[in-house]
Each structure stands twice: as structure tokens, then as C-alpha cells.
Amino acid sequence: MRASPLLAQERISAVVFDLDGVLVDSFAVMQEAFAAAYAEVVGDGEAPFEEYRKHLGRYFPDIMRIMGLPLEMEEPFVRESYRLAGRVQLFDGVRELLSDLSALGVRMAVATGKSGPRARSLLDGLGVLRHFEHVIGSDEVPRAKPAPDIVFRALDLLGTPAQRAVMIGDATTDLAAARGAGVAAVAATWGEAEVDLLLAENPDAVVNAPGEVLALVAASS
């Protein structure tokens, strides 16, 4: 773990998490759902998942617009994501991290590229929804990441000033949203993150395992 002096200025009292690639290992399910949606709406040919993964962290309709793919892919993508949700698992150490942060009285929220209902359903099924005061989806703010709206919304709901919060994300869109909201941007590298791209954004801290988030918070006390 490495951290900038910014994180030493205030005690961290709130953590805002991205969902996919940070809390949950959903990469394989995402790939399968994307392939099914592509086959159903576009037809023959290989689904361009490698291009899709470059935009992970964004709201699905925004990715479709960027890639020039039909917005009609959203319905089968969401349907397949729900169907396959039982295969999504928490990353090792995440359950313990959430319990430890809760025990410290740290307030937590999720700010995700998913829709709010799908994110809450997934976390509920994994038995960890209770740890989060708020789970905010990209469909519940005016502008999705990389705009800061979703982080501003989390801070407002938590009643926490930006200087006492951090955001943990695995995509450059997460870091941009955090910085736009004045929140320390923490890069998580344990999922399918493009680590070189994250490091090029000079995050305020880098954490290589969920337990390092706890150490980051404890070091600010």
C-alpha cells in the first residue's frame, strides 16, 4: 500500500466503494452476459468484450453509445446478469473488511456503474447489504461516472465532508469521479483492473488487497 500526504490530513470517517472489481468478482459473469446480449441483438460474430472492458466502471448505456452498439443490448444484458448473479462472489477478504470497518464505526456507501436495484439485489444476495448505508446506481444520478455526481450524492447521503472520505475504485472513471468530488482517490488492484492505467492517473493511494483498506483507514485515526 502507498498513500499520498492528502490522506493524512483528516481522519477517514467514510468509505465509498465501487462494486464490480472491488467488492465483487463479476468479470466472468459480465463477459457471458455481454456475449449473450450481443448475440441476441447484433447477431453473428464475436462480441467485442475486450473493447467493452476498457470502459468498465461506466454505466452500460454510456458504454453502448461510446462503442456504437445498440442500446437495445441493455435489456438482455441485465436479464442475463440477474440470471447469472448466483455465480458472482465477494473477493477474498471483502467480507472481513466490511465487518471490521463497521466495527470501527466507519460509514460506507457504494457508488456503482450498475443500476441501483441490480447492485442492491446483488449485495443482498451476498449477505453484505447491511454494511452499506446507501447503494447508489448510475441510473439514480444525473450523470454517471466519470462525472462526480454519484460521489457527491454518496457524501450528501452520508453527511460526510469530502476531506474525510475516500473512494475505492478499480477504474480510471472511479478515480476521476472521486477527484471531481474532492475525495481522495484510492486505486484497488486485486480484480481485473488495468493497473498501469490506474497508476498513470497518480491515485492518492494504491491498495493491493482488501485488508489494506482497513490499514489505510486506521492510519488516518
Check: CB of residue 115 under 8 Å from CB of residue 138: yes
| 18 noted as active-site residue | yes
Pairing, β 184-188 against β 165-169:
parallel
| Dihedral over Cα of 118, 171, 101, 152: its sign | negative
Nearest by Cα to 220 from 30, 13, 2: 13
Nearest by Cα to 30 from 68, 60, 8: 60
Nearest by Cα to 126 from 88, 164, 92, 177: 88
| 20 noted as active-site residue | yes
Helix (H, G, I), strand (E, B) or coil at 187: strand
* Catalytic residue numbers, as ranges: 18, 20
